[in-house]
C-alpha cells in the first residue's frame, strides 16, 4: 500500500509499505477514505525527529471503512464507517473506567514513561504505524473506533479523530463561567474549534488571537472577536485592557511548543535536532525547552483566580515558569492529551443535524491526494496559500 513515511527533518515521502494485517484478536483493518494533517504532525516534521526512524508511517487523524476484524471484535463488521481516535485505549482498565483514555494502562508506553499509545507518533508513544496511508491496523478495536452514519461528507465526521474533542476538552477544562470571557491563543484548527465551542457552551465573549490573516478571517466568520498579535506590543496588556481591566476569565493555549516569537527556544530546539539521535533524545528528555511566549502570555493575561487550559503540545523538561506570579494570582492550570472517547457522545448530536453549529464543514481549506502529502506538509508549516487545514485522500 501507499503511505506517508518520515525520513528526516522536513523530509516526508509517499512510499510503498507492507499492507497491515490482523495481529491480535482485538485488531481491525480500516481502509482510509480521509486523513488529516494535524498541527502536532508538524512537531514531527521539525522538532521530534530524534524519536522517529526512517520509514515510520505518520498520521493520527484517520477515518474510513472497516475491511476486516479480529475474532475479539464484535461491535464492528466489514463495511462499517468509522472514525479512529488518535489515542489507543482499551476501554476497560483502571484509567479507562475513569474516562482517562489518554492514560490507558493497557497501551501505556511504560518504557518511555508515557501515557497511552498514539497512532503515528514516535517511539515515545509506541511507534504505532499511522493513518496517512491507504490502510490502517487499529489495535483495541473492540473499543476505540467510533461508528458513524453512512451519510454526510467525511469532513462532517473526520475531526472526531482528534481536533474536535481536543478543542471540546480544552473548553471544558477552561471552565469559563456562563456569560464570561474566554480568550483563545492560536487560531489554527484546534483554536478555531475551541473558539466556536466556547461560544456554543455559553461564553458571553470569545476573543481569538493570531497573526495569520486567513485564520483571523475564518474566526470572524463564526462571530469570534479577533486580535492580530502582530499589531500589538503588549499582548497580555491588551487583553487585560479589553476585559474590564482584569483580563479574561479563562484562556486556552492552542499553540504549544513551536510558538512564533521565541528565538531562544527555537535555537535550543534546533541545536538538539542537530545531535545524533541518542544524544538528542537524552538532551530533550533531561534538558529540553519549549518556545513559551504564548504560554507565558496566557498566564499573564488571565484574570486573578482564572484558568489557563493547555491543548497545545509541549515537550520540555526544563521550561522556566513564572511561579511566583502564578501563585500570587491564584491561577489554575489544566492540560493533557485529549481523552477522545470521553467527549464523543456529547459532540456527535451536534454533527447529525443540518445546521452544523460548530462549523465543521468550514475548516478544511485544502483537500489533496495522499501522493501530494509532502507538498501539503510544507504548505501547512509555512502557512502558504491560505492553508488552515489539510485533508488527504488516499
| Cell output for 80 | 462499517
pLDDT, mean of residues 41-54: 90
Domain boundary, last residue among 335, 365, 384: 335
Say whether both 152 and 207 belong to one domain: no
Say whether both 208 and 249 belong to one domain: yes
Give the model's pLDDT for residue 285: 53
pLDDT tens digits for range 261-312: 444 444 444 444 444 555 445 445 554 567 899 999 999 999 999 999 999 9
Residue 324 reports pLDDT greater than 70:
yes
Say whether both 298 and 358 belong to one domain: no
Say whether both 181 and 294 belong to one domain: yes
Give the model's pLDDT for residue 264: 43
pLDDT tens digits for range 178-215: 999 999 999 999 999 999 999 999 999 999 999 999 99
Say whether both 174 and 81 belong to one domain: no
* Reported pTM: 0.92
C-alpha distances in Å from residue 352, one per residue of 148, 157, 201: 10, 9, 18
Instruction: Identify the residue whose cell numbers are 528565538.
Output: 263
Buried b (16+ CB within 10 A) or exposed e, 335-357: bebbbbbbbbeebbebbeeeeee
Domain count, the chain: 2
Say whether both 271 and 358 belong to one domain: no
Say whether both 321 and 374 belong to one domain: no
pLDDT tens digits for range 70-127: 999 999 999 999 999 999 999 999 999 999 999 999 999 999 999 999 999 999 999 9
CATH number at 181 reads 3.40.50.720
Mean of the per-residue pLDDT values of the chain = 92
The domain of 296 spans 164-335
Say whether both 13 and 113 belong to one domain: yes
Say whether both 181 and 157 belong to one domain: no
CATH number at 114 reads 3.90.180.10
Amino acid at each position: 500500500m501507499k503511505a506517508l513515511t518520515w525520513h528526516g527533518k522536513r523530509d516526508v515521502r509517499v512510499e510503498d509499505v507492507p499492507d497491515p494485517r490482523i495481529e491480535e484478536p482485538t485488531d481491525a483493518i480500516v481502509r482510509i477514505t480521509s486523513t488529516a494533517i494535524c498541527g502536532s504532525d508538524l512537531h514531527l516534521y521539525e522538532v521530534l525527529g530524534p524519536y522517529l526512524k526512517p520509514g515510520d508511517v505518520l498520521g493520527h487523524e484517520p477515518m474510513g471503512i472497516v475491511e476486516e476484524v479480529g475474532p475479539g471484535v464484535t461491535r464492528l463488521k466489514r463495511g462499517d464507517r468509522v472514525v479512529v481516535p488518535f489515542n489507543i485505549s482499551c476501554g476497560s482498565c483502571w484509567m479507562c473506567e475513569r474516562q482517562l483514555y489518554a492514560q490507558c494502562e493497557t497501551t501505556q508506553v511504560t518504557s518511555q514513561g508515557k501515557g497511552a499509545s498514539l497512532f503515528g507518533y514516535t517511539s515515545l508513544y509506541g511507534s504505532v504505524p499511522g493513518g496517512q496511508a491507504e490502510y490502517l491496523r487499529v489495535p483495541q478495536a473492540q473499543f476505540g473506533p467510533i461508528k458513524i452514519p453512512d451519510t454526510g461528507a467525511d469532513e462532517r465526521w473526520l475531526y472526531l479523530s482528534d481536533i474536535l474533542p481536543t478543542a471540546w476538552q480544552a473548553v471544558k477544562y477552561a471552565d469559563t463561567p456562563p456569560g464570561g470571557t474566554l480568550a483563545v491563543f492560536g487560531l489554527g484548527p484546534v483554536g478555531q474549534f475551541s473558539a466556536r465551542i466556547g461560544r456554543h457552551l455559553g461564553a458571553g465573549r470569545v476573543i481569538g488571537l493570531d497573526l495569520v490573516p486567513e485564520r483571523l478571517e475564518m474566526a470572524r466568520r463564526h462571530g469570534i472577536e479577533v486580535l492580530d498579535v502582530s499589531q500589538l506590543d503588549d499582548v497580555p496588556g491588551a487583553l487585560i485592557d479589553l476585559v474590564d481591566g482584569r483580563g479574561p476569565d479563562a484562556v486556552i493555549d492552542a499553540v504549544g511548543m513551536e510558538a512564533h516569537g521565541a528565538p531562544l527556544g527555537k535555537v535550543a530546539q534546533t541545536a538538539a535536532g542537530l545531535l545524533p539521535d541518542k544524544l538528542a533524545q537524552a538532551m530533550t528528555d533531561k534538558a529540553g525547552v519549549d518556545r513559551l511566549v504564548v504560554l507565558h502570555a496566557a498566564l499573564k493575561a488571565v484574570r486573578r483566580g482564572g484558568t489557563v487550559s493547555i491543548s497545545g503540545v509541549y515537550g520540555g523538561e526544563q521550561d522556566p515558569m513564572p511561579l511566583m506570579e502564578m501563585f500570587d494570582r491564584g491561577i489554575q492550570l489544566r492540560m493533557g492529551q485529549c481523552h477522545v472517547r470521553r467527549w464523543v457522545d456529547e459532540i456527535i448530536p451536534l454533527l447529525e443535524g443540518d445546521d452544523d453549529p460548530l462549523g465543521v464543514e468550514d475548516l478544511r481549506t485544502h483537500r489533496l491526494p495522499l501522493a501530494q502529502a509532502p507538498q501539503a506538509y510544507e504548505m501547512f508549516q509555512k502557512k502558504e496559500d491560505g492553508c488552515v487545514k489539510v485533508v488527504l485522500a488516499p
